[in-house]
C-alpha cells in the first residue's frame, strides 16, 4: 500500500483536460511544498513533469500544471494528446525520517 493515494486510472479524449489527485497527510504533502510528478511510458524511465508543487522543468509542455490544497496535490493536463498516455506518479518529501513517499501511480488513457 502506497503512502500517497492516487486514482488507479483516469481517461480523457484528445483536447480535453484531466486532473490526477494525490492525497497524503499532514506529515508529507500537507507539510512541504515539495511534491513532484513523474510520467512513465511502458519500459521507460520516469520523466519529471512538475516539481515543488507547480514548477515545470524546461522542456515540459505548459499543458502540464500542478497545484496543492491542504494534504492533496493535483496534476492537470490540458489539451490531452495521444502521447500523454502513460503512468503518472506523485511523490512528496516526508521529513528527515521517512524522507520520500510515492503515490501508487495513475494510468492515463487517452481515448
Partner 1 sequence: QVQLVQSGAEVKKPGASVKVSCKASGYTFTSYGISWVRQAPGQGLEWMGWISAYNGNTNYAQKLQGRVTMTTDTSTSTAYMELRSLRSDDTAVYYCARDFTMVQEWDYWGQGTLVTVSS
Residue among 101 and 110 whose Cβ is closer to partner 1? 101
Place of cell 528527515: 96
- Residue whose CB is less far from partner 1, 37 or 74: 37
Q: Residue 75 is placed in which grid cell?
A: 496534476
Residues that bind partner 1 (CB under 8 A): 2, 32, 34, 36, 38, 45-48, 51-52, 57, 89, 91, 93, 96-105
Q: Give the residue with the Cβ less far from partner 1, 82 or 99.
A: 99
CB of 101 to partner 1, least distance (A): 8
The residue assigned the cell 512541504 is: 32
Amino acid at each position: 500500500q502506497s503512502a500517497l493515494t492516487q486514482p488507479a486510472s483516469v481517461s480523457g479524449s484528445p483536447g480535453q483536460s484531466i486532473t490526477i489527485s494525490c492525497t497524503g497527510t499532514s506529515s508529507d504533502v500537507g507539510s512541504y511544498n515539495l511534491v513532484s510528478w513523474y510520467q512513465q511510458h511502458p519500459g521507460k524511465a520516469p520523466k519529471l513533469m512538475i516539481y515543488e508543487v507547480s514548477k515545470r522543468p524546461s522542456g515540459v509542455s505548459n499543458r502540464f500544471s500542478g497545484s496543492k490544497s491542504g494534504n492533496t496535490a493535483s496534476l492537470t493536463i490540458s489539451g490531452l494528446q495521444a502521447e500523454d498516455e502513460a503512468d503518472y506518479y506523485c511523490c512528496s518529501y516526508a521529513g528527515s525520517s521517512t524522507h520520500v513517499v510515492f503515490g501508487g501511480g495513475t494510468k492515463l488513457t487517452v481515448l
